[in-house]
Amino acid sequence: MTLHGVWLLVALVLAVMLSAIAVVHTKYETRTLFSELQHLRAQRDAVDVEWNRLRLEEAALSTHVRVERKAREQLGMFNPRFNDVLLIEEVGRVHP
C-alpha cells in the first residue's frame, strides 16, 4: 500500500467515526426533544382540562337565576314596582 493509500484509508476511517458520532448525537437530541414534546403536550392537555372546568364553572356561576338570587339575598335588590319607575323624556328631541 502506498503512502497515498494509507492517508486515504485514515481519512475514510476518520470520516466514518465522525459520521457515527454525529448519528449518536443526533439520536440523543431527537430523544431529548421528543421527551420535552411529550411533557409539553401533557401540560397543554392539563391546561385544556382546567380551561374547560373554568368555562363550566363560569357558566354555572353566571346564570340569570343565580345572579338574581344573589342580588336579592346578598344585596337586598328587588324588581322595581310600577310606582318606583320614573320615565324622563328629553324635551325637544325627536324620537325615531
Q: State how far the alpha carbon of 88 is from the alpha carbons of 23, 79, 83, 84, 85, in Å.
A: 83, 19, 14, 13, 10
Q: How many CA atoms lie within 13 A of 10 on its CB side?
A: 7
Please give the Cα distance from 1 to 3 (Å, whole number).
7
Q: How confident is the model at residue 94 (pLDDT cuts 50, 70, 90)?
A: low
Interatomic CA distance for residues 64 and 79, integer angstroms = 14
pLDDT confidence band for 17 (50 / 70 / 90): very high
* Cα separation, 22 vs 14, whole angstroms: 12
Q: Rounded CA gap, 74 and 79, in Å?
A: 15
pLDDT in tens, 55-87: 999 998 888 888 899 999 999 998 888 888 888
pLDDT tens-place string over residues 79-93: 888 888 888 888 776
CA-CA-CA-CA dihedral for 29, 35, 40, 43, to nearest 10: -160
